Structure 1
C-alpha cells in the first residue's frame, strides 16, 4: 500500500488528519498548564509518522485529541471531513470504535484470556473486523494463539496488543511509546509488526517515541517542543527496523 521512499502513494487523496491552531489548556485550581500552543498538522492516508520530543512537549496530548480520547480547548481537528472538535462524547466513542486503533507502552491484556481471546474481544464489537487469527498472523504470532499473556515475552505481548488494535480494521493506528518498555531486539520485532501493518493494510500510523533512532523507519518525522511543532522532516530513504541501530 505504501512506497518505501518518500510519502505513501495515497498522499494525493487528501489528509486523514488535519489540525489548525490546536490548543489544549489543563486547569488544576488556579494553575493552568498549556499543553498545546496552536498546532497545525496533517497526515496523509497510509503515512507512517514518528512524533518526537521531550516529556511535556505535547506529543501525547496531541495524539489523545486526534484519537478522540481528549478534547481541545480551542482550534480544530479533522478526521477526513469530520470535525472531531465538534463531536460530543457519544460521537467520539463511535469514532474511536470504528476508525482508531490504539497501542500504548503497557499492553493491557486480560491475563485470563489467550492471545486469540484477547484479540477476539475487539472483533465482537467491530463493524467489519479481521479474523483474530489473521490479525495475530500479521504480527508474527500465528503459532502463539493459545498462549496466555504470562506465557508470552514482553515483545510478544505488545504484538498481541497491536493485533488487537488492528483486528477491527481501523483507518488509523495511534501508538504511544510502543517500544518504551522493551529492549532493542524485542523493540525491533514490535516495529517490524507496525511497519508490516502500515504496508499491508495501508493504515495511517502515528508513533510517539523518545527513541530518536526510530525516526529512520518513518515517512515523516514531526518534532514537538513546548506544545508546538518545532520541526518536520521527510525521510527520503527509509530503513527497515532490523537495520536501525539503537
Structure 2
C-alpha cells in the first residue's frame, strides 16, 4: 500500500453502512462525503448511535461499507481484500479505545513493545512512553497505574509504530475531567510531534474547542463541519 501522495488522508464518497438485526434494518451511515487532511486534529461530535464509531471503524479497516467508496490517499480501501486491510491496519493506523486493553502481566514498556517488535519503523517503547509523559513509569504494571496512566500507555502503544492516522473512540469516556485533560494533552502532543492525523470521537462538546475541525454527525449524516479559528488548549477545557 503506497504512502500518501497528497495532504488528503481519507476521502469518502456516498458512504453507507446498514446493519440487519432480525427483520430490522439499521442505517448507521447514510451517504457520507468527507475528507481528512494530513496532520490535522479532528473531533467527531454526536450522540450515541449517530454513526461516529461506524465511520471510524470503516476508515480504520475494522469494518466494511455497505456501499460507497473509501480512499486512503490514492488507495481505495473499499476494494481491498482482508490481507490488504490487515497490512493497512498494521502499518498505517493506530487505535485508541475507551477501554485500555492492556495486558495485565506486562509492564508499560512491554505493552508498547508488542507493537514496536512488528512495526516497520517504530519509536522505541521508551520514546513512545516519553511522548505521553510516562518516562518514569516504564516498568510499572497496569494494576500499578491510574486509569489515565493506563490510557496514556494505550496511546503510546498506538503511536509507537508512527502511524499516519490515529483513530480514537471516546478515549476520555471512562475518565474524570481532570484525568481526561491529561489524556487529551497526550493525544495533542502526539499529533504535533509525530504529525499524525488524529480523529477523536466524543459526545462531549467541550472537547471540540481543541480541534482544527469539528465534524457533527447525527443519524448517519454529516450535519455540519466547523473550523476553529482559535483553538483552546486541553488545560483550558471545562466539562
- TM-score (ref. length: structure 2): 0.97
Which residue among 138, 149, 158 is the counterpart of 1:145? 138
Equivalenced residues, count? 235
The alignment status of 1:34 with 2:52, answered yes or no, reads no
Q: Does structure 1 residue 87 correspond to structure 2 residue 80?
A: yes
Alignment map for 1:63-74 (pairs within 5 Å): 63-74=56-67
Work out whether 1:202 is the aligned partner of 2:223: no
Of residues 147, 169, 173 in structure 2, which corresponds to 1:176? 169
Could you say what secondary structure the match of 1:128 adopts? coil
Displacement of 1:27 = 1.4
More deviation, 23-32/191-200: 23-32
Alignment of 1:80-229 (within 5 A): 80-229=73-222
The structural deviation recorded for 1:65 is 0.1
Distance 2:131 2:125 in 1: 10
Cα offset, 1:166, TM superposition: 0.3
The answer for unaligned runs of 5 or more in structure 2 is none
RMSD: 1.0
Distance 1:184 1:227 in 2: 28
Q: 2-side partners of 1:219 and 1:98: how far apart? A: 25
Please name the residue that 1:58 is paired with: 51
1:13 CA displacement: 4.0
Structure 1 residues 45-88: Cα deviation after superposition (integer angstroms, max 9, x where no partner): 00100000011110000000000000000000011011011111
Q: Distance in 1 between matches of 2:17 and 2:205?
A: 25
Q: Provide the TM-score with structure 1 as the length reference.
A: 0.94
Q: Deviations over 1:77-130 (max 9, x none)?
A: 011011011111111010000000000000000000000000000111111111
What SS does the aligned partner of 2:29 have?
Answer: strand
